Structure 1
Amino acid sequence: MNEQTALQIPLPDHAAASPAPGKMPARRTPPPPEHGTGAQIIDAARPLIDALAGLPLDERVSTLNALRVLLHEQSPFRDEPVDLVLWEKADTVEGNSYNPNAVAPRQMDLLKHSITADGFTQPIVAWRPGDASTADELAAPAEETAAPIEVVDGFHRHLIGKHDSTVAERVHGYLPITIINTDREALEDRQAATIRHNAARGVHTIEGLSEMVLQLMRERKNFAWFEKNLGMQPDEVTRLAQVSGLAAAFADAEFSEAWEADTDPFTTSTEQS
């Protein structure tokens, strides 16, 4: 008797005919358990997971969302919003009207380049109207709810995911969402959460940036590379390189604590003779 039979997990008839999933990008993920009940669960689940490849896109996404919710309900980290990231259709997600954070065009271009080059590495923090607390409610498509999902943090990420054609096509018109405060309906709660997210972000120190810039210049990165990848203008790169460059130039120099002259600087040549 194999593990699948022992756990009595049914296998859909069309699973055997499902196309093989495409090659996944290499990721440094921890290996699954090799022994015990955990290994049995994973072995039994593999055929069902493979069957997802045969579903139409929208049905596959909604099924994956429902599965993520079921896993989240059993997670020891279920009180942390980041433990559950769902993909929602972009046109069901709307920005809020109270976010005071503004992004300059240059930073917006850099954010767009970041998402294009690195992908979505952070979900959009959002609030879903109503008390969505069950697996069925959380996984239900937003178009089935009374009101759209409201962005709490990630307004500019949400704009790029919606309106940049390259990104929107890559994510099939969906956005990664993590839901917070499902039990707090007041507007001031969401406003406070938005301000906290904005204020909690750190800032780059001049010393740290200058060290990084100097190292990149040693690797022969030119001004065009800095502007495209870091959003830095040539004069900014030059100033930052000078900060570290001057410090590095004198790093090993020794200086006395006091300056002593061999002669009195106020004596004349006649007096010295």
Structure 2
Amino acid sequence: MTIDELEEGIRELTSLPTHKRIEAINRLMKVIGEVHPNSDPVSSVLWVPAEMVVANSYNPNTVMPPEMRLLYLSIKEDGYTQPIVVYWSEERQLYIVVDGFHRNRVGKEYSDIRERTHGYLPIVVISKSMAKLIEATIRHNRARGDHSVLGMVNVIAMLVEAGRSDAEIGKELGMSADEVWRLKQASGNSALFEQHTANIPALFKNRTYSRSWKPAPDEKTEQPPQREE
């Protein structure tokens, strides 16, 4: 089959009903993603029913009403120029948002956008461990400067519980050791510092120390000698 014949076959999809057409194009996009020389997720953008895309439980990103309105206007005027980054939850049989929660909201909450996109949302799917997915979300947010301190505290706690060290957290999230430490302090959760306190005895083992000393009596507190009568 020549490229021209392939193009002609694809154009014939216009005769299909909307939902069938989207389903067929998704199948084609998956194949294109498999054979594309660039293996980046964006090489295979899919459109899925909006109700199959749901928020994650850890994203610290927040958007104020003015910014949300601006995002809506951007999508209204320019269309979706960035897909929503998701992973597939086998347990829930849903796509969970890694990045793009508010783009997801626009496609659901604004009727004109939902009508224009036929109730579908554009997604790219990534597959990683939960800790890696959380880190991916934070990297997306920090690249835009969108993250709240409270949300980041929760994220740090989740990564520590997942077995990440401070050094690993800092490396994956682009944070300094001091940033990680301060967020752990802000959590008020002493368990987050166990990896530090567990090593404290080792720091003082097999060392030679000077003898203890006694402070001199405080002359100001001594009683004056009694006068003999």
Structure 2 residue 79 is the aligned partner of structure 1 residue 119: yes
The residue that corresponds to 2:144 in the other structure is 201
State the distance in 2 between where 1:42 and 1:121 align: 27
TM-aligned CA distance change 1:146 to 1:155, over 3 Å: closer
TM-score by length of 1: 0.51
The change in CA–CA distance for 1:97 and 1:146 in structure 2 (over 3 A counts) is: closer
Query: What residue is the counterpart of 2:122 in the other structure?
Result: 176
Question: Any unmatched runs of 5+ in structure 1?
Answer: 1-6, 8-40, 131-144, 204-273
Can you list the C-alpha shifts for 1:111-159, whole angstroms capped at 9, x where unaligned?
A: 11111111101000111124xxxxxxxxxxxxxx952100000000000
Secondary structure of residue in 2 paired with 1:177: strand
CA offset digits 1:148-188 (Å, max 9, x no partner): 100000000000111100100000000000011x2x2x322
SS of 1:128 mapped into structure 2? strand
Q: Distance in 2 between matches of 1:146 and 1:109?
A: 31
Q: What displacement does 1:74 show?
A: 1.0
Q: Which of 22, 26, 35 in structure 2 is aligned with 1:74?
A: 35
Q: What secondary structure is seen at the aligned counterpart in 1 of 2:124?
A: strand
Q: Counterpart of 2:35 in structure 1: which amino acid?
A: Q
Deviation digits for residues 37-64 of structure 1 (CA, Å, limit 9, x no counterpart): xxxx221113311210111111110100
Task: List per-residue Cα deviations over 1:208-255 (Å, max 9, x = no partner).
Answer: xxxxxxxxxxxxxxxxxxxxxxxxxxxxxxxxxxxxxxxxxxxxxxxx
| Paired residue type of 1:87 | W
Q: How far apart in 2 are the matches of 1:44 and 1:119? A: 30
CA distance in 1, matches of 2:41, 2:11: 27
Partner of 1:271: none
CA distance in 2, matches of 1:107, 1:146: 31
Query: How many Å separate the matches in 2 of 1:81 and 1:178?
Result: 6
Which residue of the partner structure matches residue 191 of structure 1? 134
Specify the alignment match of 1:58 in structure 2. 19
State the distance in 2 between where 1:106 and 1:100 align: 18
In 2, Cα distance between the equivalents of 1:156 and 1:121? 14
User: Counterparts of 2:65 and 2:51 in 1: how far apart (Å)?
Assistant: 23
Please tell me whether the aligned partners of residues 48 and 120 of structure 2 are also in contact (alpha carbons under 8 angstroms). yes
Please say if 1:106 is aligned against 2:66.
yes
Q: Aligned to 2:37, what secondary structure does the other structure show?
A: coil
Question: 2:179 maps to what in 1?
Answer: none
Tell me the percent identity: 45
State the partner residue of 1:161: 107
Instruction: Give the equivalent residue in structure 2 for 1:43.
Output: 4
Residues 88, 94 of structure 2: 8 Å contact kept: yes
Q: Runs ≥4 in structure 1, deviation > 3 angstroms?
A: none
Aligned partner of residue 123 in structure 2, secondary structure: strand
